Structure 1
Amino acid sequence: MSDKLISWAGTFFLLFIFFFPLDFLGDFQREITVFLFGDLTEWIANIVFGLENVRIDFSSDSISMLVFIGILLVLSLGITTLVSPKYIQKVLSFSKEAIVVYLAVVLMKYGFDKVFKAQFYLPEPNILYSRFGNLDRDILFWSTMGVSRSYSVWTGGIELLAALLILIYRTRVLGLLIAVGIFINIVAINIGFDISVKLFSLILLLMTVFALKDDWIPIFHFLVLKKETKLNETRDVQGMLRPLGVFIKTAFLGSSLVLILFPYISSGNYNDDISERPSIHGGFKNTDENSDLQYIFFHRNHYLILMDKKEQMRDFHYASGPRGLFLLKDDDGKEIHMNISYEKKDSLIILNWGSGEIRAKELNWKKMNALRPLFHTVIEKVE
């Protein structure tokens, strides 16, 4: 029974690696998956969940991903049942090697994103001026992590170390054990803070456990029973296929590394905290104290956000035109033409549309306590 379960899991993980889209590697995986499974996924989502026109993007924690995983589980069960056991063992060997490379690439992606401060980014002014209790847990977690570059670099460095150890055969077990700890923490964070990559991170954890399937008993004997033991040193990929396997693995790792690092190298920016923002960016306070509108924020992703005194927000995506003309569009597609003038010397911004006008004073949001680079060696120096 356990052999059947392991075979089923190994086959599922292999199919998942082939077909679950990793956006940072390009669109080819998504296009292939949509072509092969898109219509079936939409049909099942309609039958099971009663949803029409469901979004088929297979992003983590989406309906399409849940259905897609169900399809892969059934497909892998069929393969495990129909294929001869001697071939299944070869599939498992290939699956284990594929998982190792896959985990290394994922760890490299998120490791570099943390080191270069692109995952836990600096919180935007509209978040900084919101009350703690009004923020959702996922935004709270993301924003808290974003105020500390040193912690981001530290956690990213650990993920990169795990990836490196996994790729070196003699240190693979150590790297996988570190990865188990990393993914357990990530799964706990995603569940505890309701971050929408729960299912993907759980599958990564299960993959890591599977990659150690031949080593758990020796590890238990060594760590718990204190017995002298030796880890399995037999390589899974042998014979004439080894050179081909090494070539494919090297090519995939190399191309993945290029795709991961290219955005940073092309921009020349290795710290997102200091990356270039739009010409108008930041927070502004309405000078009319009798108005219900309290703050105006310009988000780095070209959003104009209005916050009232009850901290209710309304956002518009904007595109700038000539002579201070801005085209604003809300979630319903409604368009507003607005003239915006910014007097930098007075730190004043003026918004005009039709007969309406708002004057707002710029806020020095970068001096807020959350962004101050404080470090205390002793508690007596804490203010």
Structure 2
Amino acid sequence: MNNSNTLSQAPWNGFTKFLFRFFFAYCTFSILPIIGNTLFNITNELISPLLDIEIVRHLSGSGDTLYDYSKLAFILILALIVALIWTLIDRKSKEYKLTLYWQETYIRYYLGAFMLVYGFSKVIKTQFGYPSLSALLSPLGNKSPMGLAWTFMGYSDTYTIFSGLCEVAGGLLLMYRKTRTLGAVVCFGVMLNVFLMNMSYDIPVKLFSFELLLLSAFLIGLDYKRLVNVFILNKPVSAQLNRNPFKPKWANLTTQILKGIAIIAAVSLMIYRGVESQVQYGDIAPKPPMYGIYEVENFIINNDTLPPMLTDTIRWRYVVLDKWDSGNIFKMHTKGYNSRIYFRSKADTINKHISFLSYKDSIEIGKFKYYKTDSIHYAFEGIYKNDTIKLNTLRTDENDYLLMNRGFHWINEYPYNR
């Protein structure tokens, strides 16, 4: 049998040792953020004034900022320097199998933890939600690539949950050494799809998704000879040698029990928080009392009735009162920055008043009295930014749109591609 285990006693060649030193240094600075961030911030403060370049970290929801790219370049250069120095001062070591063991162990848990976090956010469906009312009104051509991807993922519970289950399966398999390789293969396939989606739809998690893809490839690479022998060369292989962290059996058994308890506790906490977020902010969260799309049939501003002309930049076309008390005003003229107004809504269902609040500072920018004229029509009267506004509207919701009411059909005599 071909014994090609990563823990065998065969010495490593010079290139393998250098590659290990470089990757070990990279992982130390990259996936131990407190080290990499601290070193980069210190270097950035020293170099930025000399180069007259200001690189500032800011919270924006993006993982692909100038700061992130600069830190990556810094870490790669630093890892290369460390690997060169390590090579010069350590010429006697024939291999680093014990160090590799602990590196592999940390990477398994690091990668597995993120796979579980991202996976459960899809299984419980908090990462992607159903298309909002405003998204249903937005022309396809006005959507960003990321917005299109979010709508695509959020629409289907089945596809989103399946994607999450694949991530959860990969993460759980990584938690145990005997299923490490299978877990790494599953994670690589899942993360390859995620990375390509981020690249194809300009989703700003490109760097981090590639890092998780790289870590999956690293774990697969530990068994690459055995995988090649089984899947390509059709040769038998020996069982993978597993190194226990401690010599006494009771210590290893205790470690396994504690690890199992920790995994169960972590998974339970993720599920609890996911369900809690779904109830508060997800698809099953309660909708605001005036939730709906209000198509403006008559628009009167300062006693002047404006006809529904598509070139009009003042007249409103839709008032959308969406989930999470968010709101949008769509104007007749659909192009340009000012064609859509964002606000937060606050409804008083007892006195039949609704307020529009600024997103930036929550200052009231409009207040309307509303009343129902029949089962589907609503009238609004009030002040918006010092203008007197009167609206007669037709109320609809997501069930009136083909995307949301078409549903699933086992039998299709003809493709229903609209």
Q: TM-score range by the shorter chain?
A: 0.7 to 0.9
For residue 206 of structure 1, give the secondary structure of its aligned residue in structure 2: helix
Give 3-state SS (helix, strand or coil) of 2:283's partner.
Answer: helix
Give the direction of change, closer, same or farther, for the CA distance of 1:70–1:350 in structure 2 (3 Å limit): same
- Match 1:365 to one of 390, 398, 410: 398
Give 3-state SS (helix, strand or coil) of 1:318's partner: strand
Distance 1:343 1:40, change over 3 A: farther
User: 8 Å contact 2:55–2:67 — kept in the other structure?
Assistant: no
CA RMSD of aligned residues (A): 3.5
Are residues 1:281 and 2:291 paired? yes
Structure 1 residue corresponding to 2:342, chosen from 285, 293, 316: 316
Percent identity at matched positions? 21
* Preserved CA contact (<8 Å) 1:45 1:67: no
**Per-residue displacement from partner, 1:185-239 (whole Å, max 9, x unpaired)?**
1111110111110111001000111122220121112111111123532337454
Where does residue 199 of structure 1 map in the other structure?
207
TM-score (norm 2): 0.76
* Residue number in structure 2 paired with 1:120: 128
Quote the Cα distance in structure 2 between the aligned partners of 1:107 and 1:54: 25
* Aligned position for 1:18: 32
Q: Distance in 1 between matches of 2:51 and 2:75?
A: 16
Name the SS for the 1:361 alignment partner: strand
Q: Which ranges of structure 2 fall in alignment gaps of 5 or more residues?
A: 1-14, 300-306, 309-314
SS across alignment from 1:380: coil
Unaligned 5+ runs, structure 1: 20-28
Structure 2 CA distance for aligned equivalents of residues 62 and 11 of structure 1: 23
If you compute each CA radius of gyration, which structure gives the higher value, 1 or 2?
2
The answer as to 2:65 corresponding to 1:62 is yes
Mapping 1:83-162, distance limit 5 Å: 84=90, 89-162=97-170
Q: 1:262-305 CA distances to partner (integer Å, 9 max, x unpaired)? A: 32344674993222233333322112272532112233344322
**Alignment: residue pair count:** 371
> Are 1:376 and 2:409 matched, yes or no?
yes
**Structure with the larger helix share:** 1
**Corresponding position of 1:9:** 23
- Name the SS of the counterpart of 1:274 in structure 2: coil
User: Is the CA contact 2:326–2:343 (under 8 Å) kept in the aligned structure 1?
Assistant: yes
SS in 2 for 1:235: coil
**Other-structure match for 1:337:** 365
TM-aligned CA distance change 1:45 to 1:108, over 3 Å:
farther
Partner of residue 76 from structure 2, selected from 73, 80, 87: 73
Q: Secondary structure at the match of 2:355?
A: strand
* Secondary structure, counterpart of 2:32 in structure 1: helix
* More displaced 10-residue stretch of structure 1: 268-277 or 157-166: 268-277
CA contact (8 A) 1:264 1:270 kept: no
Which string of whole-angstrom CA distances, capped at 9 and with x for unpartnered residues, describes residues 126-175 of structure 1?
Answer: 11111212211111111011111111111111111112222232222111
2:344 is aligned with what amino acid?
Y
Residues in 1 aligned to 2:357 and 2:268: alpha-carbon distance in whole angstroms: 37
**Counterpart Cα distance in 1 of 2:74 and 2:207:** 15
Aligned residues of 2:325 and 2:346 also touching (Cα < 8 A): no
Q: Which amino acid aligns with 1:73?
A: L
Residue from 334, 357, 367 that aligns with 1:328: 357
Distance in 1 (CA, whole Å) between partners of 2:268 and 2:51 is 41
